[in-house]
Structure 1
Amino acid sequence: MPVIVQALIPVFVLIVFGYLFRRWNFPGEGFWLHAERFTYYVLFPAMLIYKLGQARLPASAYGEILVLILAMLVAMTVILVVMQLVWRWPGPVYSSVFQGGIRFNSYVGLAAAGMLLGDEGISLIAVAVAVKVPLLNLLCILMFSLTCRQGQLRLMPVLRAIATNPLIIGSVIGVTWSFFRIGFHPVVAGILAPLSDLALPLGLMCVGAGLQLRALRSASTPFLAASVAKLVVFPALTLGLAMLLGMEGLLVQVAILLAALPTATSSYILARQLGGDAPLMAAIISGQTLLGMITLPLLLGILWQAA
């Protein structure tokens, strides 16, 4: 069995477990909502602080990650805009296609990085999360304001939501801890370590619990376009950009992994709140998560070797 497939099987199995447990109403209907909130606000920030705080990344790595993430987002935005010029979808439909084509599921990314690339891979992808979360939120909300026209864009609530995002806060604290090489007191490490260990399995099961497979019945051309763009075009584009920028090694592997991930589950909330096509967004999220079980190991095997 290929090493990549073997490493990713636990990630996908935990997602399936989450879906089955939710469908069987175990341990109770209210559990998964609270588990998702607990993971998002407590466990993942704790993991980011702990893993990043112990990392010893060279200073140049931060600049390289920023440059590559910016190049990836700009290039993919251009492709998605060209797709809209060709297909001319209604605004709400396009807003969901846009989110489905450019956003990343951070939970799956961190888990996959841990399985495939170890603690250094988690550290790099955590820094990438800190960079891409605010940029993507601003980009997607701007796209909503241009295509859905649901009233005036209010910038302050957006900036406030970004500044208080638990993943960003955890990443910033972890990077600061690492930069100054402070180290963790044994008591602090004793608290953060078990929280960190719990974050990935519970987070992945929450991803599975949130899948809406019934939404796939209405899958259509926009769903297929968003999925091909995200799961195939984006990772291949990222490899090309990395080679063009002269980057190599672990950083390129992390960037390709990030680009090959299914879209973020939080995209559904944004679509529902800002006038997007929420049913289409649910189909894209669920479909990409399932398709990613095939495309992720396949694309990583091909593109990592090419890198």
Structure 2
Amino acid sequence: METRQLGAAGPALSLVGLGCNNFGMKLDLEASAAVIDAALESGITHFDTAEMYGGGKSEEFIGTTLGDRRDQVVIATKFLRRPQDEPYTPGALRRHIIASCEGSLRRLRTDRIDLYYQHYPDPDAPVDEALEALDQLIQQGKVLHIASSNVSGEQVETAAKAAAGKGVTPFCGTQLEWNLLSRDVEREVVPTARANKAGIIPYFPLASGLLTGKYRRGEPYPSGSRLDTMAYFRTIDNESNFARVEALTAFAEQRGHTILELAMAWLVAQDGVASLIAGATTPEQVRTNVAALGWALTAEDLAALP
């Protein structure tokens, strides 16, 4: 498995990362452990979770399953935003971050978090407060690297300037939704991240399964699939996306590949991308995601993409 450094100063990540949002929600401990074991066997060393996934169960399942294999992986987790019904006062975000970190360390059964994300920007607290709290955790050895998630290009720029002005550790990367059906981030966030030497980690690389080929225009959702069980994601089920999927499928098949392989290969070909967050509910899905990286797109392929 190829590894890439996240930005100018981040950790080395396996090109495919395991998205652990299904743990504790769709998957119990036994099923989660099977997916984790398959990931390790396939060369995945980047595990992405969050304190909100499964109400903390995702972190617990990872900590329990890894055991003495903990040092073989890079654990990335995220702290929730500060409760929005609580008025902001200076220091409130800092206290929230410190408490969240302690909770994640406990659930993960580890003494440090390799990559710690601000899951969502705080609409009221200055980013300076978040950066200073995270820098404190770095100085204590409880966190090794920090990153942002779900931010705008302006927020990437503001955080970089704040870190430089305060003399604290900057975000080494940013995580965002990016795939062949969701490309708005290319206008602002991606260029700004590149300009600030921040690495990029796309999530939803398969557009909630639409880029796997398992959903067909006008046909019922496969039983148990994400679109079948989670109405929140059905906004992507539209005529425009299905037309795009059909064109991309034909493009891939003409070259002897699947649309899933195209979706993964296209993202890793983008400048600044360090790792993809690919979720899985079975060991077979893990192996399929890893195998998809066997196709390296040429410049001609990228230019001909419909």
Range of TM-score over shorter length: under 0.3
More helix by share: 1
Q: Output the TM-score relative to the length of structure 1.
A: 0.26
More strand by share: 2
Q: Output the TM-score relative to the length of structure 2.
A: 0.26
